[in-house]
Structures are given as structure tokens and as C-alpha cells.
Amino acid sequence: VKLASLSSGSSLNYRMNNKLRGEKVRLIACCSYKKFIEFALDQTKLHTHLTPSPLQESYKCMTALDGKTELQMISFQAPKIRLLRSFSFEVSGVNQVLDFAVFPEPEFDLPIFCANFYSAANTNIVVLDLNPLHDVISNKDYKDKYYKELLPLGLKYAELLPWGGKITSESLRFFSPIVIWTKFSSSQDNYNVLYSAFMEYYKAWLELMNQAEPEMDVSRISCNQKAQHRYLTWREQKDPGHQLLKKLVGETSAKDLLRNFLFHGVKELGSDTFLDYFPEYKSEDGSVNLKRSIIGKSYENRPWDAKGDFIGI
């Protein structure tokens, strides 16, 4: 009797473990980010004419060093869009990443669309924003131009997807008053909320793109270009995904991906270096300090009020 109950107990355990494992795999499968990319491409095509980017030839699909993980890359351009690109991968049942961004042509002072999602077994790290091209703390005109009408949208999702806690302080200058910075556990509900936030934010960005008129003033175009270059320079050097990317594809390929695909434009849009833009990162020997943050992490709570004013200082 003892033996029978033992063996049935362990087979129950075995079945339960399998069931749990199955559920986790299902959760990740049902929560795939592929749907996000398809939505974004379909919506973009309703508003503009997308053509494949020249980058598409060299950056399509890449197998990671583990021989299993497939990195998926797509890139397009359109009349007002310098580069629309997506980078994603899934390690079945372990983690998945989406880095989707749209960079406007320098004739436009449009925000940069930014969706960065990282999911591991039970943590999800999310940044979703229309990253401002120009400073939204001191430049009220720019803030009002793009974000005033979007504040209700931002407030709605700030409640559904609460502030994710302390963050690299330097990142704040690249975020808008409607940024969604959040962390949550994996569940179908959370995934659905994130998907609807993504859809609404992306539609809002497309609407801004539709209305945007090209700048004619050469000095303003060059100011937009410099701002985009500074943004690319920041992310190419300090993006939090670097470590994982290096682990996946090795240091040389990771650097190539960052410089020539993910943050393409860092070589083409300007010649200022990371230390020209961010001299506080200069180490004693003149090299770039490897720390992600010099100031440290801060902003335990959302540093904007309901009117979109910065209250973090």
C-alpha cells in the first residue's frame, strides 16, 4: 500500500509539474509580441507607403550563439519616416523581447515612437512612449504641441500600468509626460492591457505623423537632426538590453547590431561623440564610464503631475 501511494504520489507530482510547465509555455505563447508588430505594420500601411529599408538586406534573421534563439529583424522607411524597425526574439518558455521604434526624418520634430518590452518567466519590464525629440521640461511649446492632447491617454494607462519604481535617472530626459514605465507579472490580463496601450499609443503617433508638416528652415532641420543623433548616441551606448544582447550573439555582433541596425543613424546623422553629449560619463583616463548611471537610480514615483508638469526635482 505504501509503495502504491508513493508511486501514485510521485506520478501526481510529475503530472502537476508538467501541467505547470505547460501553463507557463502557454502563457508565453499566448502573450507573444508578434501580434504587436503585425498591428503596427498594418496600421502604418493605412497611413503611408512603407518601403523596405536598405538595412533589410543585412538584418533579417539571426541565430544566437545557443544555436536555437532566432532574432527577428525588420526595417522600413516611408516619406516622413527615416527608419521603422523592429527587433524581437523568443526563447520558448524562458524570455522574450520586443524593441520596436520609429524614427522620423529630420525635417520633422515628431517624437520617436518607442516600445521596449522584456519578459522573463514572471517579470515583465516595459517602456512605452512617444519619446520627445526636444526637451519637454524646459520647452513648453514643444510639450504642448505634442503631448497636451495626449495627457488623458497617458493618465488612463498610468493607472492601469503603474509606475515601475526607481529608474536610471539619466533616462528621464528621453521620456515624455505620457511615458509608460512599468513592471508586472505575467498574466493574460496584463498582456491584454499592454496590447491595448501599444495600439492606442501607436495610433496616436500615426495621427501626429499624419498632421506633421515638414520644416523648411535649415537651422531647425539641423536642430531636429542633432536631437535625434543625441538620442541614438545615448541608446547605442547605454541601453539596458546590452548585456543580454552580448550574451546572445557575442560582443562583436551585439555592437554591430546596436550601431548599424537598432540605432542606425548614429554614424550618419552627426559626428558628435557620446562624451560630447554626455561629458559627465568621462572617466579619468578619458574613456566612457561603463556605469549606466552617474547620478544613480531615482524617481520612486511617477515624476509628472496630471497636467504633464515635471515634479521630479
What is the size of the binding site for ligand BLA (CB under 6 A)?
Answer: 18
What DSSP designation does 128 have? E
The answer to the question of residue 208 lying near ligand BLA (CB under 6 A) is no
Looking at residues 170 to 189 of the shown chain, list those that interact with ligand BLA (rule: CB under 6 A). 171, 174
Closer by beta carbon to ligand BLA, 45 or else 247:
247
Q: How far apart are CA 205 and CA 207, in angstroms?
A: 5
Site for ligand BLA in 85-124 (CB under 6 A): 97, 99, 114, 116, 118
Place of cell 491617454: 153
Q: Which among 37-45, 149-157, 218-226, 240-248 is the span making contact with ligand BLA, rule CB under 6 A?
A: 240-248
Distance CA 296, CA 241 (A): 18
- Cβ-based nearer residue to ligand BLA, 241 or 270: 241
**Closer residue to ligand BLA, CB minimum distance, 4 or 313:** 313
Report the C-alpha gap between 213 and 198 in whole angstroms: 25
Q: For residue 258, what are the contacts with CB-CB under 8 A and spacing of at least 6?
A: 236, 239, 242, 245
Contact in structure between 167 and 297 (CB atoms under 8 Å): yes
Q: Identify whether the C-beta of residue 303 lies closer than 8 Å to the C-beta of residue 310.
A: yes
Q: Stretches 52-60, 204-212, 236-244, 271-279: which one binds ligand BLA (CB under 6 A)?
A: 236-244
- 191 near ligand BLA (CB under 6 A): no
CB of 59 to ligand BLA, least distance (A): 14
Task: Name the residue with the smallest CB distance to ligand BLA.
Answer: 241
Q: Which of 81, 110, 127, 180 binds ligand BLA (CB under 6 A)?
A: 127
Single out the residue of 80, 230, 235, 264 in contact with ligand BLA (rule: CB under 6 A): 235
Cα separation values, 310 from 143, 183, 302, Å? 11, 21, 9
Question: From residue 28 to residue 67, what is the string marking binding to ligand BLA with x (rule CB under 6 A)?
Answer: ----------------------------------------
240 binds ligand BLA (CB under 6 A): yes
Of the CA atoms within 13 Å of residue 271, those in its CB half-sphere come to: 0
By the rule CB under 6 A, 263 interacts with ligand BLA: no
Residue closer to ligand BLA, measured from CB, 48 or 293:
293
Give the three-state DSSP class for 138: coil
Q: Which is nearer to ligand BLA, 167 or 204 (CB)?
A: 167
Smallest separation, CB 237 to ligand BLA (Å): 11
Distance of closest approach, residue 181 Cβ to ligand BLA, in angstroms: 6
The rounded distance, in Å, linking the Cα atoms of 169 and 295 is: 6
Query: What CA dihedral angle connects 108, 212, 45 and 231, to 10 degrees?
Result: 30
Residue 279: how many CA atoms within 13 Å on its side-chain side? Answer: 1
**How far is 247 from 297, CA to CA, in rounded Å?**
24
Alpha carbon 253 to its chain's center:
20
- Confirm if 130 and 204 have CB atoms less than 8 A apart: yes
Residue 81 touches ligand BLA, criterion: CB under 6 A: no
Minimum distance from residue 64 beta carbon to ligand BLA (Å): 11
SS3 121: coil
Residues that bind ligand BLA (CB under 6 A): 97, 99, 114, 116, 118, 125, 127, 167-168, 171, 174, 235, 240-241, 244-245, 292, 297
